[in-house]
Amino acid sequence: MKGYLKLATGETYEGTWQGSQGDFCGEVVFFTGMTGYQEVISDPSFRGQIVVFTYPLIGNYGINESDFESFRPQVAGVVLSETDSLGDHWQSQNTFVDELKTRGIPILTGVDTRSVVQRIRAVGDIPGVLTTIQDQATPDFHSIYKRNWIKEVASSQIQNIGSGNPHIPHIGLIDFGYKKSIVNVLIDLGCKVTIIPFEKAEATIESLKPDGLLLSNGPGDPKQLSPYLEGIERLALAYPTLGICLGHQLLALAFGGDTEKLKFGHRGANQPVQDLQTGKVGMTAQNHSYVVTEESLGNTDFLMNFRNVNDGSVEGMVHKTKEIASVQFHPEGHPGPADFQSIFTDFVTMIQHRKEGHTAGVGGTRSYLNEEADPTQCKGGKVYAEA
């Protein structure tokens, strides 16, 4: 059966339709990784988006039980050049296409994905619709941006994961649509993790009194959570805090910074980021449409400590005097590299030292969560290419 991807800007791309029939609207974005498609479709940060995979062959190692980042696929639809109908891998339990079909998510294959991506890069992320009707009228796309995707993916119940041993670090993870891999890294580092719904965060944390807080990733515009910013600031000032992706943006907003929407976002497993203290560049996994504006950090007590090499955007910040830090990228990887997974190690080590009564701040953490950041060490040069 023929199917179509129709963009709000007027272009139509034809392909072969697989999966549930109907009209499926979403923001059309692209992902540049060669692998990791299972993690991508199940990452809550992709909620409400139609994902165009740039690598020409997707699905060749199938789907397994362990690589889901949430309990189900979250994307609104998938657009591919070509897919493998078998999925040949010893862990594979289903094919990529069959998994999406079972979950009611449309797949459009045989599409000129290069052309779609060129269009997105020219005009930015674009609302679109996947449909089987060639002359289907263009729907009203405004609802895509008004919808609060965060509330659709965030937990509604408190969950405890890991040991109840009171001597190990206890991390309160404020959930805006967290990835399972973040929790896995913390558990592997010997932590107990409590997943806390963001709407109940202050009251819950006051009763739990964890050793540290992690603000998770999630979908959508961080300014949709403006009513919660004062509470986020109070919590971050009271506990050692690490923010990831959306959590990073929320910390900036809570302390007086600002965010803006990128033209076509950062999504992929190959985004180069420079540590401004050491000058070293590492590769990162990313998935976001919004960034913290560098000039707005002047209104806060944060210093930028990571920069995107491609476009110069803010990729991380650290508070000048408090144990608060955040990163725009995903240090846990999945999919993608774990070049900066030491951020988790530093965070947990610092908390463990505090718990044992040692001096706050951990040697070797450089610009991450230091007790007092050195502003002369977080400047860095503009080594990036102009976008």
- Would you name the residues annotated as active-site residues? 245, 330, 332
Strand partners, 13: 5
- What is the widest separation between alpha-carbon atoms in the chain? 68
Question: What's the distance, CA 85 to chain centroid?
Answer: 29
82-83/241-244 β-pairing: unpaired
Both tokens assigned to 302: 């944060």
Q: How many CB atoms lie within 10 A of CB 192?
A: 20
Tell me the three state secondary structure of residue 306: strand
Q: What is the 3-state secondary structure of 359-379?
A: CCCCCCCCCCCCCCCCHHHCC
Helix (H, G, I), strand (E, B) or coil at 35: coil
Burial class (CB in 10 A: 0-12, 13-18, 19+), 64: middle
Q: Alpha carbon of 352 to those of 183, 259, 343, 346: distances in Å?
A: 17, 32, 14, 10
Length of the chain in terms of residues written = 387
End-to-end CA distance of the chain: 39
Burial of 77 (0-12, 13-18, 19+ CB in 10 A): buried
CA dihedral sign of residues 112, 46, 149, 329: negative
Contact between 285 and 334 under an 8 Å Cβ cutoff? The reply is: yes
SS (H, E, C) 51-73: EEECCCEECCCCECCCCCCCCCC
Helical pair 229-238 and 201-208, crossing angle rounded to 10 deg: 20
* Host H or E run for residue 153: helix 149-153
Residues 6+ apart with CB under 8 A from 363: none
Alpha carbons 116 and 113: distance in angstroms, whole number: 5
